[in-house]
A and B are shown apart, each in its own frame.
Chain A
Amino acid sequence: MLENLFTNIAGLLRNLLDSAGVPPLWNDVTLLVVKLVAILVFILINALWLVLMERKVAGYMQARIGPNRVGPWGLLQTTCDIGKLISKEIPIPKSADKILFLLAPALVFVPPLMIFAAIPFGKDMVALDLNIGLFYVFALASLTTIIFWMGGWGSNNKYSLLGSMRVVAQMVSYELPMILSVLGVIMLVGSMNLTEIIAAQQNMWFIVTQPIAFLIFFIAAVAECNRTPFDLVEGESEIINGPYTEYGGMGFAMFFLAEYASIMIISAMATTIFLGGWLAPFGLTFIPSWLWFFLKMYVLIFVVMWFRWTFPRIRVDQLMGFGWKILVPLSLANVFVTGIGMYIYRAIGW
């Protein structure tokens, strides 16, 4: 019952439209729109919750309890914060490039939304089942760079500019190890379709067969979404707030929420590629598949937050050095070893 909750809802809707005499094409389009809207709502609600969760995790790790005044257990804190931020004016610096400045926060939610359309949340629960799913995800993930750059350049502020320079440098040097680390998985599966990647993990998750790839992927992904220890982009003790320095009100809130959306993406991606996606481990199939996906994703999100509230920030040249001198060679070696392993396996097995 619970297992097929969402697929049943979708089926019901499809039948309803069918019986109303809607042509099949229009039926499909309507269904896709409904699915995308559901994903949008899902992301926004999760982003709101993640802001609170981060503050709670931070509090609990710092001998305090975090927000607890608004709503029970502080649950309405972010909602109130967003309400406050919406009601604030968005100050535009005099010398700013107005179009870029205003466009950046408006666009910042687009890539996460587009990425989530391709991620399978559970059994048969994927809005767009693309056969180049992985490629699509990485292509879109790097689009965020441009939006940060727009914000930083448009602000016409030295701190913002430094921050957005760092974004570009960081994304370029960490995109590479991230994609190279996934290459091993693609070689094993032989497909870039996310559903097929999950299906290939039926017997064994790829975190077991590709542990180094997982490590590289996770580190690069944390760097990709600008989280500590790679949060040089914000680097509040160095460059105030990086590209968001000049933003106030909802402009700031959009960047802020987008950060959590990107954490969700990297956690969802790591879950899909390495942790078996929605597959239930140890045959615990009584828990519905989408809940498994959700649980795994949240464990990874917690780890990312745990990192943030433990580690100091790395320096910009060390970041580059770590990316190019350690992660890239390591991921290349991983691809190489995977290839040899596959060759030997085939030579012995068949």
Chain B
Amino acid sequence: MFGNGLIKGLRITWKEFTSKKFTVQYPEEQHTKPERFHGRFVFDADKCIACNLCANACPNNVIELKSEKVEKKKFLTKYVMNIEYCLFCGMCVEACNKDAINFSLEHDMSQYNYDAIPLILVEREAPKPEPKPEEATPEASGEKAEPKVKGKGKQKEETPAASADKSASDEVAAGKAPEKEGQ
């Protein structure tokens, strides 16, 4: 009948008015994220065999992967994700056989400057096969590497990985470490 539906509507809104609220006050309270959350990528350089499967699986060519041959093995030198093109579909994570690339729960990926957007997961020099008698080479390579290491989210893997390899690159890694902390 006329008016019934209107009163019922008023009753429902009154019920909502007095009942518990549903929203979460965001920065202070946050929902727990599920395990499978597609957040920022984390990368384990030790597990990576530079097989290029992830880069091929990506629909948008987000992954820029470079490797060098060191003693018949591929050594990953660069793993950069142009995250501005990323669809967060998870094809790369699914393609990886070695569980090297994964999602984290970190969702805040906004950057102030455009050139800070690419996610530099690995950027390092390939270790030299054997330390040569010339002392100038590690110095030079160390200097070259320095400007490349800009204040990005995830480069923590590169220092231990590089230092673990060969004695010659130890000096380079040691020289780089304090520089990084200063940033």
Contact = CB atoms under 8 A, between A and B. Distances in A.
Contacts, number: 32
Interface residues of B, number: 13
Contacts of A57: 17
B31 interface: no
B23 A306 contact: no
A309 B12 CA distance: 11
A63 B22 contact: yes
Nearest to B7: A310
A64 B22 contact: yes
A131 interface: no
Nearest to A68: B25
B10 A306 contact: yes
A62 B19 CA distance: 10
B14 interface: yes
A106 interface: no
Interface residues of A, number: 13
Given A310-B9, A311-B6, A311-B9, A65 B21 contact: yes
A309 B23 contact: no
B168 to A, nearest CB: 56
Interface string B26-64: 000000000000000000000000000000000000000
B181 interface: no
Interface in A33-71: 57, 60-65, 68
A276 to B, nearest CB: 24
A68 B25 CA distance: 9
Contact of A306 (B14, B19, B21, B22): B14
Interface string A279-301: 00000000000000000000000
B167 interface: no
Interface string A297-324: 0000000001101110000000000000
B16 interface: yes
A60 B155 CA distance: 46
Interface of A: 57, 60-65, 68, 306-307, 309-311
7 contacts: A60-B16, A61-B17, A63-B16, A63-B22, A65-B21, A68-B25, A310-B12
Interface of B: 6, 9-10, 12-14, 16-17, 19, 21-23, 25
Given A62-B16, A64-B23, A309-B13, 16 more contacts: A57-B17, A60-B16, A61-B13, A63-B19, A63-B22, A63-B23, A64-B21, A64-B22, A65-B23, A68-B25, A306-B13, A310-B6, A310-B9, A310-B12, A310-B13, A311-B6
